[in-house]
Amino acid sequence: MTTTTPSGHSRKSVIIVGGGVIGLCVAYYAMRKGHRVTVIDRATEDHPGCSHKNAGMVVPSHFIPLAAPGMVLTGIKMLGNRESPFSIRPRCSPRLAKWLWMFYRSATRQHVQRASSVLRDLGLESRRSFCELSDGFGHEFGLIQKGLLMLCKKEKTLHEESIIAEKALDLGIEAKILSPSETAKTDPQIQMSIAGSVYFPRDCHLNPSRFLKCLKIALKSGGVTFHWQTNVRKLETRSGAIEKILTDSSEFQADEYVIAGGVWSPQTIHHLGVPLLLEGGKGYSVTLEEPDSLPSICSILTEARVAVTPIDNNLRFAGTMEISGLDDSINPNRIRGIQKSIPKYFPNYQGIDLHKQKIWSGLRPCSPDGLPYIGRTRKHQNLTIATGHAMLGLSLGPITGKLTAEILSNESPSIDLSLLNPDRFH
């Protein structure tokens, strides 16, 4: 039943499928708008999909979408290397073929230009929201606002990153090109062997599982209902709208339905004739507990494409992008690739053995044009999609939550969402 909130919009019942970072952020902002929210997830509460052991970076500096000129060639060059950070697992799938074709079509200068402004707006607004959330949650999720270093081993890479830094400055994102000694002054706690770096002072990092925990505590105390270990099997429709959700054991009804199911979203809504194009981009993370030396700033080993994040007294390494469908198995060759790269940049880490640590894998929900899907679907008036954030799901969680809550409240979204339309590929 729909009633009215003190701010004048309808108070609705909302079901969110997916309790990862996107689903929880949507739940949080929908709850704050006065809606009655239910979250359903087939996972256990402590292990939602891709969200709890990622690299924890909040990166407005990542304004260039994955689908960019040069990426196709870079991808092809890396294919033969079993330890490389990028791979596509070949399989006979019309969906993969369509995804690859759309990726190729999107990898243009014009697309990058249009997408960069949107990603910039989303990234900066989300960062602002993280600061508010951190204050509101008593700094519980460890937000560190010290920036990000893009560490470059080779002059050629430094030159390429410098061009990106100039684009960042054009877009209003602070960036500084640093020599090795300037980089060492920026993070004196760790020895580095590099040709230089690009420093993005506005980027941040945090503890992703603690962020999810803070959200869940706030949601529970705000009256949000959770159904963990509950698989959504089907959405039933009536007269151009979703009427109810069927799980393996029961059914649920609401005014509005949000699909925030990460890489599994297409499966969940395929029967509705909403063919969402998404591929799983598998990545791994490994966390070293209390190592002898610890950087104070998060960084990316640029050539190796490995993210390095100090989280509390531990150090997390994350990397690889394997387009591998829904397979989340661990490929030891890729871990070896990550391991080999670390001492090249941080000589103190010579001799570490990542294989002795617990390895986590996650499937990033990747759209072919590198932009998320946020918006209502054309076919079903009360069905909203919030997924496809690929490498930026944590970074863009709060802004996705805010925008989706605006959509649910029938308000005009505060950022133009036309490039993020979930129907854009059909």
Is residue 28 part of the contact set for ligand FAD (CB under 6 A)? no
Within a 13 Å sphere around the CA of 189, how many CA atoms are in the beta-carbon half?
10
Is residue 60 part of the contact set for ligand FAD (CB under 6 A)? no
User: Which residue from 71, 260, 315, 399 is in contact with ligand FAD, where contact means CB under 6 A?
Assistant: 260
DSSP notation for 233-270: EEEEEETTEEEEEEESS-EE--SEEEE--GGGHHHHHG
Nearer to ligand FAD, 199 or 264 (CB): 264
Distance CA 245, CA 257 (A): 9
Distance CA 303, CA 296 (A): 21
Is residue 65 part of the contact set for ligand FAD (CB under 6 A)? no
Is residue 372 part of the contact set for ligand FAD (CB under 6 A)? no
* Among the residue ranges 38-46, 75-83, 88-96, 135-143, the one whose residues contact ligand FAD (CB under 6 A): 38-46
* Among the residue ranges 3-11, 102-110, 282-290, 339-347, the one whose residues contact ligand FAD (CB under 6 A): 282-290
Site track 341-370 with ligand FAD (rule: CB under 6 A), x = hit: ---------------------x-xx-----
Pairing of strands 256-259, 13-17: parallel
DSSP notation for 58-76: E-TT--S-SS-TTHHHHHH
* Among the residue ranges 134-142, 175-183, 281-289, 337-345, the one whose residues contact ligand FAD (CB under 6 A): 281-289
In the block, residue with structure tokens 């243009």: 108
Is residue 278 part of the contact set for ligand FAD (CB under 6 A)? no
Angle ∠(380,386,390) on CA atoms, nearest 5: 140
Is residue 318 part of the contact set for ligand FAD (CB under 6 A)? yes
132, with CB counted inside 10 A (0-12, 13-18, 19+), is exposed
Is residue 51 part of the contact set for ligand FAD (CB under 6 A)? yes
Is residue 54 part of the contact set for ligand FAD (CB under 6 A)? yes
Which residues 6+ apart lie within 8 Å of 423 measured at CB? Answer: 274, 377, 378
Instruction: Tell me which residue of 268, 292, 290 sits closest to 278, measured CA to CA.
Output: 268
Nearer to ligand FAD, 211 or 349 (CB): 211
The residues of the shown chain that bind ligand FAD, judged by CB under 6 A, are 17-23, 40-43, 48-51, 54-57, 231-232, 260-262, 264, 268, 283-285, 307, 318, 362, 364-365, 387, 389-395
